[in-house]
Chain A
Amino acid sequence: MRRNTTLVILVALSVFVLVVPPVRGAITQAAYLVAPSFWNVGSSTANIWNSFLTNFRDKNFLVNENAMLRGEIDRMQAQVLDRNLLAERVVTLEGTLGRAQGDDRVTATVFVNQNKSPYDILVIDAGSDNGVAQGDDVVFAGSGVIGEIAEVTSTASKVRLYSSSGVDTQAVVGSHFVPIVAAGHGMGNFEAKVPQDSIVAVGDSVVTTKGNLILGSVSLVEEKPAEPFKRIYFRTPFNITEIRSVEIIIGSSRL
Chain B
Amino acid sequence: MRKRIIVNLVLLGAVIYLPWWAVMVIASIAAFLCAPYYEIVAFGVLFDILYGTNTISFGGVIGLVASVCIFVLANIIGKRIR
Contact = CB atoms under 8 A, between A and B. Distances in A.
B41 A11 contact: yes
Given A14-B41, A19-B54, A7 B71 contact: yes
Interface residues of B, number: 32
Contacts of A10: 38, 41-42
A117 B56 contact: no
A123 to B, nearest CB: 7
Contact of B55 (A112, A123, A151): A151
Contacts of A119: 51-53, 56-57, 60, 62
B19 to A, nearest CB: 5
Interface string B43-60: 011111111111111011
A116 B51 contact: yes
A117 B55 CA distance: 15
Nearest to A11: B68
Nearest to B40: A10
A118 interface: yes
Contacts of A120: 56
Q: Is the interface of B mostly helix, strand, loop or mixed?
A: helix
A18 B57 CA distance: 13
A18 B16 contact: no
Given A18-B60, A121-B51, A151-B55, A3 B36 contact: yes
Interface residues of A, number: 35
Interface in A45-63: none
Contact of A18 (B17, B56, B64, B71): B64
Contacts of A164: 56-57
Interface string A161-181: 000111000000000000000
A15 B61 contact: yes
Contacts of B60: 18, 24, 119
Contact of B64 (A3, A11, A112): A11
B29 to A, nearest CB: 19
Nearest to B58: A119
A28 B62 CA distance: 16
A126 B45 CA distance: 23
A27 interface: yes
Contact of A123 (B48, B51, B57, B68): B51
A112 B18 CA distance: 10
Query: 8 closest pairs, A vs B, by CB?
Result: A117-B51, A151-B53, A150-B53, A10-B41, A14-B45, A119-B52, A38-B16, A31-B49
Interface of A: 3, 6-7, 10-11, 14-15, 17-19, 21, 24, 27-28, 31, 35, 38-39, 42, 112, 115-121, 123, 150-151, 158, 160, 164-166
20 contacts: A7-B72, A11-B64, A11-B68, A14-B45, A15-B64, A17-B45, A18-B49, A18-B60, A24-B49, A35-B50, A112-B51, A115-B19, A117-B50, A117-B51, A119-B56, A119-B62, A121-B56, A150-B53, A151-B55, A164-B57
